[in-house]
């Protein structure tokens, strides 16, 4: 997993221009490939880049396409990138795209649950020109498929950024056959000022998903926190925020079913219904003919003088 990083001191507008992120990520990937050649680390079965590691479609942008092709060549292995892909319908998708040596891009996953005012602007004609919303020039279209991305024995279940907060989306990936989960995310614009801490929150979500579904989870972030989580929720390795790094770990590929996968949202729905029933239930009224409490059951009262 490669974390390319961006400069923390950049303004929000500058961080939104992520072509520099692509170069940073490719440079860190070259360091990983050099470490493999020196025998410092094992050659990865798959290398993961974060969300928005590219700001446009590398199959149409010749510069970015060459950058990805070179990275795949030096790695001599499969690479999952994060990119803005152009669909045949003329719409754009926030996606993870799998590249294979000698083949190029072979398959992709497009984010299904989009974030309002982040990936699309409701009432754009009215609100699109306000403040930082001007940095969102287009609305993304949601994807429709959760089919795993297959590389040899790996069946990769991809979710992008805050999709990890929706256990139903992760459950879809597992039920479709994923034996390894990856969360591609871009946290650079959220680790600023009072918004700091979002990365740790996302890591906590990834750990919960690992426990729920018994799968290893790789959290690939642009600027951290990136981490590799074991099926039991233990963090095997991590890279902190605002630094470039690569992580190489061997993790189990898990099949089988868990209780959380089988039951889905039913336990939550049942508990919510019980809580709601407790809130709306009214206590029964005392009947007029009810007997008075006995002396033995009556509360004691101290009688004072005066």
Q: Pick the closest to residue 246 from 24, 65, 16, 10 (CA basis).
A: 24
The active-site residue, picked from 119, 161, 163, 191, is 161
Catalytic residue among 7, 9, 28, 51: 51
d(Cα 225, Cα 245) in Å, to the nearest integer?
10
Query: Would you call 150 a catalytic residue per the annotation?
Result: no
What would the two tokens of residue 67 be?
A: 């950058």
3-class DSSP state of 15: helix
Q: Quick one: CA dihedral 204, 94, 80, 56, positive or negative?
A: negative
Catalytic-residue membership of 51: yes
- 53, 62, 25, 55: which is closest to 137 by C-alpha? 55
**Largest Cα–Cα distance in the chain?**
102
Give the C-alpha separation, 251 to 218, whole Å: 10
> Of the residues 14, 40, 42, 111, which is catalytic?
111
Residue length, the chain? 306
Among 94, 239, 245, which Cα is nearest to 158's?
94
How many Cα atoms occupy the beta-carbon half-sphere of 214 within 13 Å? 11
CB-CB contact of 231 with 215 (8 Å): yes
111 included as an active-site residue: yes
Which of 145, 181, 153, 160 is closest to 261 using CA atoms?
Answer: 181
2-3 vs 47-48, strand pairing mode = unpaired
Cis before 62 (ω within 30) = no
Q: Find, among 243, 275, 279, 270, the residue nearest to 28 by Cα.
A: 243
Question: What separation in angstroms does the CA of 283 have from each of 280, 286, 290?
Answer: 10, 10, 16
Catalytically annotated residues: 51, 111, 161
């Amino acid at each position: 997993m490669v974390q390319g990083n961006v400069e923390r001191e950049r303004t929000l507008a500058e961080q939104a221009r992520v072509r520099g992120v692509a170069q940073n990520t490719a440079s860190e990937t070259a360091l990983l490939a050099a470490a493999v050649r020196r025998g410092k680390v094992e050659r990865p079965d798959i290398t993961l880049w974060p969300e928005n590691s590219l700001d446009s479609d590398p199959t149409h942008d010749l510069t970015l396409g060459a950058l990805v092709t070179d990275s795949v060549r030096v790695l001599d292995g499969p690479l999952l990138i994060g990119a803005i892909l152009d669909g045949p319908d003329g719409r754009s998708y926030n996606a993870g795209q799998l590249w294979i040596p000698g083949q190029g891009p072979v398959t992709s996953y497009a984010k299904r649950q989009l974030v309002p005012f982040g990936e699309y602007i409701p009432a754009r004609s009215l609100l699109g020109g306000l403040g930082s919303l001007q940095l969102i020039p287009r609305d993304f279209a949601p994807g429709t498929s959760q089919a795993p991305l297959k590389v040899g024995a790996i069946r990769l279940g991809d979710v992008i950024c805050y999709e990890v907060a929706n256990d139903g989306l992760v459950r879809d990936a597992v039920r479709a056959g994923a034996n390894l989960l990856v969360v591609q995310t871009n946290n650079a614009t959220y680790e600023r000022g009072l918004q700091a801490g979002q990365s740790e929150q996302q890591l906590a979500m990834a750990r919960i998903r690992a426990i729920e579904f018994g799968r290893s989870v790789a959290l690939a972030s642009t600027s951290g926190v990136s981490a590799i989580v074991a099926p039991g929720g233990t963090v095997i390795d991590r890279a902190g925020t605002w630094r470039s790094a690569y992580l190489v770990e061997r993790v189990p590929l898990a099949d089988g079913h868990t209780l959380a996968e089988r039951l889905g949202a039913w336990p939550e729905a049942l508990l919510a219904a019980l809580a709601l029933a407790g809130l709306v239930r009214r206590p029964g009224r005392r009947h007029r003919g009810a007997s008075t409490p006995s002396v033995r059951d009556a509360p004691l009262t101290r009688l004072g003088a005066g």
